[in-house]
Amino acid sequence: MFVLVGSGGFHQGESARQPDFLTPYLRQLLSTLGLFNPHFTYLQGLVFGDAAVRLTLEDTRARLSQEPLFKTLVGA
């Protein structure tokens, strides 16, 4: 299962200014439903303007294109 996490700020990587509370919580919640291996993809820094959003989307598309499930969908 793939989970897209959108955020105005940063909670992953070098620019993180706050801890990531959402991912561990969702991982625990999903495991109670029998979903034990979620793959999280982060869309971060979305409040920093159009250029930041464009860069985040390009990076996310590039990462998802490496997954067999999304290989044919990402280029669209």
DSSP string, 7-69: -SS--SSTT--S---HHHHHHHHHHHTT----EEEEE--TTS-HHHHHHHHHHHHHHHTTSTT
Position 57 scores a pLDDT of 94
Residue pLDDT, tens place only, 16-67 = 888 889 999 999 999 999 999 999 999 999 999 999 999 999 999 999 989 8
Q: Cα(64)–Cα(51) distance, rounded to whole angstroms?
A: 20
pTM above 0.85, yes or no: no
- Domain ranges across the chain: 1-50
